[in-house]
Amino acid sequence: MLTSLIDYDIQCNFVFLLTFYFLICEEGMRQLLILYFIFFTWFNTTAQNIDFEYNYAINLNKVDTDKIKVTLQFPASNDALLVYQFPSIIPGTYKVYDFGRFITDLKVYDAENNLITTERLDVNRWSIDNQKSKARKITYWVSDTWDSMLPSRVFEPAGTNIQKDKVFVLNNHGFFGYFEGKMEAHFSVKVSKPSNMFGATSLKPLKTSSLTDTYTVENYHRLVDNPIMYSEADTASVQIGSTNVFIGLYSPNKKLDAKTTAKSLKEVLKAQEKFLKGKLPTDHYTFLIYLSDKPSNSGANGALEHWNSSFYFLPEMNPKSLLPIIQEIASHEFFHIITPLSIHSDEIAEFDFMQPKMSQHLWLYEGVTEYFAGLALVQENVISESAYLEALHQKIITSTTLYDRNLPFTELSKDCLDKYSVEYSNVYQKGALIAFGLDLVLLENSNGKYCLRDLMLDLSQKYGVNVSFKDDQLFDIIEDVSKIPEAKEYLLKYVTTSTPLPLSKMFDKIGILYQEEKISRTTTFGNVGLSMNDKDQIIIDDVTELDEFGKKIGYQKGDVLLEFNKKEITAENIGTIINDFVNHPENFPKVRISIERNGKIIKLKSKAQINEQIEENVFEKEDNCTQDKQKLFDVWLSKSSQK
């Protein structure tokens, strides 16, 4: 109260001096009115941000059938009408969940604890009559989303879990609302907890004891961005460069622990640190991992990214099977520290929790992140080259067969909540392939000296956590930063229009043959059974299922194979001879096989019986690609330390 009085005196003296000065100057009257208005507008706005604070309290010891009571206390406001609300959507989910539908029995009180009239405007908002009596407190009950039978089930990493005496998942947007127009005020959250529980989070408590934790954040965005998981402590930490990485894990049957998980994650994180040249844009990061021994209520498993943490909901199973899954997902989620943590448009920075305007650049936020997640691991030998190439192959198959390949990606992004919601998951498929194509464009036009990773690091340096770009200016920015005009041309053609990605041409540049359809010509060796005799000669020991070629050339049981088109047949080369013949019958228009039968040398003759079949999504490394293709392939998949 003393601070408010001092501020008010300063305000009055400042206005008095201004008034005196301008009154003695007749020409200054108009300027006085303007300055007076500007000052009071600034003062009222600043005072509102300073004076208003949310003080929340929640008690994890008091649970009523998967519900917890929340109490909010706040200073009196001069607004005639207050609107209290919960988000309809949160960043990273790309789906409307309407968290207000899990709130019941909301009541509002004045300073004397008298009820104040409220009206529920819709599923997420309540209006409060603040004219006659000033609202000072709100109470309500929060229901667990993980067990909810309501339609539009909430993806677990974005929801709330209330299990008395066991575990609590506090995704804060599900527990704590905000007043319309007062999102930027400070928030304080006091959590009363069982003495055996620890709150794992990226937030640092202002106060903590065995029974309570108190957290403070500067605004609602930061509150939503920091989930907390309360359970018996199972934690570990690893240092990756200058970044402290913390792991909090809950495993109901103790099948996995945080220390084992930390060792597994360290390999991934070290690879990412090298990939990013040691430039991780955060000094701390938290992995919150919840393992469930029950089926997912939403029907999905996975994770949700935040600025300095990520939350995982995965099935509890054998660590040997589970740890690679955690590695793969964590690799993607951790790379979000680049996009959108350090590179984001206004739509991300000024996210509207009620009526969001979506960015047109999901190819950047999810596609590049997904692409980097695999690329970093293969470059640092965490996964094999063949495994990574097969992962790209699967993305081609999925994106071209399950989704609309002609849909402009900017349109998919902007309308992913409604019109194109069924196309959203393509951001992890085609989005990653868009990033791959952009990487090749940058490498090609810089003689291998500048790649997509370098571009992302440069953009991160240019913008960072606190600066955003205009959505419609990104391609110009990329051209300006990279100094490679072809990058902008590529993005304009394949991201903003319906032109499908030139997948065959893209992969041909690095010596990989990709064809949507390929006519294959094959034949057979006759469908005979082969074995070796005592002289290590190849003999025919089974002719019971001879095919047309086998019958036409005239194999008999016991025949000893001597030559194939004048080439000696041995135990060492029989596999190569058959493979070449079967897969390249066009090279053998006539077949002559010399055999020994009953002590006599006989020459069997026939034409190859060629069969044609259509293969789909052929994806294979060329045996003898050009030097330029191999060079680009080597630069693309080279060790990050060599680039």
Q: How confident is the model at residue 153 (pLDDT cuts 50, 70, 90)?
A: very high
With a cut of 90, say whether residue 20 has pLDDT above it.
no
Rounded to the nearest 10 degrees, how much is the dihedral formed by the CA atoms of 437, 442, 447, 449? -120
DSSP state of 436: H
Range of the domain at 227: 54-231
- One domain, residues 79 and 223: yes
17/15 Cα distance (integer angstroms): 6
Strand partners, 200: 229
Residue with tokens 């391609």, as numbered in its chain: 475
Residues 6 or more apart whose Cβ sits within 8 Å of residue 440: 506, 509, 510, 632, 636
- Domain for residue 628, yes or no? no
Buried b (16+ CB within 10 A) or exposed e, 19-32: eeebeeeeeeeeeb
Output the pLDDT for position 641. 42
- The closest alpha carbon to 354, from 123, 138, 128, 184, belongs to 123
With a cut of 70, say whether residue 565 has pLDDT above it.
yes
With a cut of 90, say whether residue 100 has pLDDT above it.
yes
- One domain, residues 394 and 483: yes
- Domain for residue 262, yes or no? yes
- One domain, residues 210 and 267: no
Asked if residue 201 lies in contact with residue 286, where contact means CB atoms within 8 angstroms, the answer is yes
Q: What angle do CA 501, 502, 506 make, to 5 degrees?
A: 115
Percent of the chain with pLDDT over 70: 91
- Domain for residue 28, yes or no? yes
Residue type for 431, please?
G
DSSP state of 343: S
With a cut of 50, say whether residue 5 has pLDDT above it.
no
Output the pLDDT for position 50. 54
pLDDT in tens, 384-441: 999 999 999 999 999 999 999 999 999 999 999 999 999 999 999 999 999 999 999 9
Q: Give the mean pLDDT of 482-499.
A: 98
- Domain for residue 475, yes or no? yes
- Domain for residue 479, yes or no? yes
452/445 Cα distance (integer angstroms): 12
Output the pLDDT for position 466. 87
- Domain for residue 138, yes or no? yes
Asked if residue 227 lies in contact with residue 288, where contact means CB atoms within 8 angstroms, the answer is yes
- One domain, residues 40 and 59: no
With a cut of 80, say whether residue 601 has pLDDT above it.
yes
Q: How confident is the model at residue 14 (pLDDT cuts 50, 70, 90)?
A: very low
Q: How confident is the model at residue 586 (pLDDT cuts 50, 70, 90)?
A: confident
Output the pLDDT for position 522. 84
172/54 Cα distance (integer angstroms): 13
- The closest alpha carbon to 530, from 515, 545, 509, belongs to 545
Percent of the chain with pLDDT over 90: 79
Q: Give the mean pLDDT of 243-251.
A: 97
3-state secondary structure of 376: helix
Burial tier of 164 (Cβ tally within 10 Å: 0-12, 13-18, 19+)? middle
Q: Pairing relation of β-strands 243-250 and 284-292?
A: parallel
- One domain, residues 166 and 250: no
With a cut of 70, say whether residue 33 has pLDDT above it.
no
- One domain, residues 566 and 586: yes
With a cut of 80, say whether residue 3 has pLDDT above it.
no
- One domain, residues 86 and 18: no
Supply the pTM of this predicted model. Answer: 0.78
Residue type for 423, please?
E
Output the pLDDT for position 350. 87
- One domain, residues 219 and 296: no
Check which CATH number belongs to the domain holding 263 and give it. Answer: 3.30.2010.30
Check which CATH number belongs to the domain holding 593 and give it. Answer: 2.30.42.60
- One domain, residues 244 and 208: no
Output the pLDDT for position 487. 98
Helical (H) or strand (E) element with 105: strand 103-110
With a cut of 70, say whether residue 95 has pLDDT above it.
yes
- The closest alpha carbon to 84, from 71, 98, 100, 68, belongs to 100
Q: How confident is the model at residue 608 (pLDDT cuts 50, 70, 90)?
A: confident
Per the model's pLDDT, the better-predicted residue between 49 and 354 turns out to be 354
106/85 Cα distance (integer angstroms): 11
Output the pLDDT for position 23. 34
383/465 Cα distance (integer angstroms): 31
Output the pLDDT for position 342. 86
Check which CATH number belongs to the domain holding 166 and give it. Answer: 2.60.40.3650
- Domain for residue 513, yes or no? no
Helical (H) or strand (E) element with 453: helix 452-462
With a cut of 90, say whether residue 29 has pLDDT above it.
no
445/611 Cα distance (integer angstroms): 43
Q: What's the number of domains the chain is made of?
A: 5
- Domain for residue 269, yes or no? yes
How many Å is the Cα radius of gyration of the chain? 33
With a cut of 60, say whether residue 32 has pLDDT above it.
no
